[in-house]
Amino acid sequence: MKILKGIYTAHGMLMFGLLFLLFFWLLLIPILLPKKHKLVGTFNRWWAWGLFASMGIPWTVEYRGKLSSSQQYIFCPNHFSYSDIPVMGLNHHNCIFVGKSDMENIPLFGYMYRKLHITVDRDNLRSRVNTFKQSLQAIDEGKSLVIFPEGGIITVKDPVMGKFKDGAFRAAIEKQISIVPVTLPYNWIILPPEEFLLGWRPLKIIFHEPISTTGLSLTDLPALKEKVYTTINEELKKQLQ
């Protein structure tokens, strides 16, 4: 079984690398022309389609509420697997990621990630403050964001969410834009957090009804955070029964 998983993992890594080399040249367009930032979401979507199709993994994208293409959102998914990042590329709404600064150390990929997305070293206070400022600036530039509110992969074996950080919710309130809770129920089966061996399972992504922050202040932050947590967690329980 492990041999088959090893072969499948090698195939997945090969396809990821080949597709990255293909899309890297396209991603140079929004790098060189920042006003074309919506192309980041488009190219990420194509990349994700190609990756999961080449791996024989079908996917279902379910929207519980209507998202307007003319509005910005902060998407908040649970984070149980490193596969969550390419899976979020399947989002129909164009957005950029706020992710760990470790990504910058990957040759070539790190250059692309640093130029198009927002990175953070969560162990460094200055980095966290700077990331928050960059997130607000990105929203001012018309970008939607994907922020994993757990701040990393907290779960080990059982898919249990960690405590949410404040950043995504503070940014949403300050900029008065809606938060979209996202449930990713099965990614930890495809790529478990405790081992880098790929498994096979159909993907499912559930985008919940957007939660408006209009009229909210920072005193409402704990309640907003709890609402998003509960929305994701209740759906996880249903999907994993």
Per the structure, the complete domain to which residue 61 belongs is given by 2-239
Tell me whether residue 3 is exposed, middle or buried, using C-beta atoms within 10 angstroms of its C-beta: 0 to 12, 13 to 18, 19 or more.
Answer: exposed
Helix (H, G, I), strand (E, B) or coil at 88: helix
Q: How many independent structural domains does the chain possess?
A: 1
Per-residue pLDDT 10s for the chain (241 aa) are: 789 999 999 999 999 999 999 999 999 999 999 999 999 999 999 999 999 999 999 999 999 999 998 999 999 999 999 999 999 999 999 999 998 888 888 888 889 999 999 998 888 888 889 999 999 999 999 999 999 999 888 887 678 999 999 999 999 999 999 999 999 999 999 998 888 899 999 999 999 999 999 999 999 999 999 999 999 999 999 999 8
pTM for the predicted model, two decimal places: 0.95
Locus of tokens 């162990």: 123
At 80, which CATH number?
3.40.1130
Query: Treating both helix axes as pointing N-terminal to C-terminal, what angle do 2-32 and 109-116 enclose, rounded to 10 degrees?
Result: 50
What are the b/e assignments for 182-192, b being 16+ CB within 10 Å?
Answer: bbbbbbbbbbb
Locus of tokens 């396209």: 26
Q: How far is CA 69 from CA 35, 72, 92, 95, 169, in A?
A: 17, 8, 9, 11, 21
Determine how many CB atoms are found less than 10 A away from the CB of residue 69: 8
Could you report how far apart the first and last alpha carbons of the chain are, in Å? 25
